Amino acid sequence: MRLIFRFLPMQDIVAFAIETLRSLSPVGQGSDPHPGLYRDSHLVFLNGHVVQDVGAFKIGDQINISNPVPYARKLEIGNGKMQAPLHVYEDAALIVAGRYGNRAGIKFVFMPVRFGDVSAYAHSLVGQTSARQRRGGNPKGYADWLARQPALEIKAR
């Protein structure tokens, strides 16, 4: 009789990913009214739902980590005026994959975050002329595009 045991250290991977994201996150200083807000706002999603831990993870499930603050996208891709470090999630994906890439598929993606300030910001632009001109003239498509936040996607191998 052969016994096969698959150990999925997803909680360890997620903990390392959050630790990495926090260490790479800009904190703000000086006149910043919310220093550390971005650093402290990374959320873990299991199959699209926010969770405190991934203990319920099963093979085939998907874990994402993203940040719902409206300026997370600007921190990732920049806007030409940014003084903060850019590419937080992209750099974190490389670091986490370097450590756990043999156990899980880890990649940088943009995922929709349809709640909180991100959603409100994206939908506030729907009626503006510039929104109609972008994304093929589809204001709703533009709002959906704006709601996409940088994220890490983690799947078991």
Report pTM.
0.79
In a domain, residue 127? The reply is no
Using alpha carbons, select from 110, 111, 105 the residue that is nearest to residue 13: 105
- Please check whether residue 105 lies inside any domain of the structure: yes
State residue 71's pLDDT score: 83
In a domain, 135, yes or no: no
Question: How far is the C-alpha of 121 from the C-alpha of 41, rounded, in Å?
Answer: 17
In a domain, 18, yes or no: yes
Strands (E), the chain: 43-46, 49-51, 63-66, 104-112, 148-156
How many domains are contained in the chain? Answer: 1
Please report, in tens digits, the pLDDT of each residue of the chain (157 residues total).
786 656 668 999 999 999 999 999 988 777 777 788 899 999 999 998 999 999 999 989 999 999 988 888 888 887 666 566 689 999 999 999 999 999 999 999 998 876 655 555 555 555 554 544 555 566 666 666 667 889 999 999 8
Asked if residue 92 belongs to a domain, the reply is: yes
List the domain range (segments joined by +) for residue 36: 10-113+149-156
Q: Is residue 142 part of a domain?
A: no
Does residue 82 lie in a domain region? yes
Q: Is residue 2 part of a domain?
A: no
Label residue 74 exposed, middle or buried (CB < 10 Å: 0-12, 13-18, 19+): middle
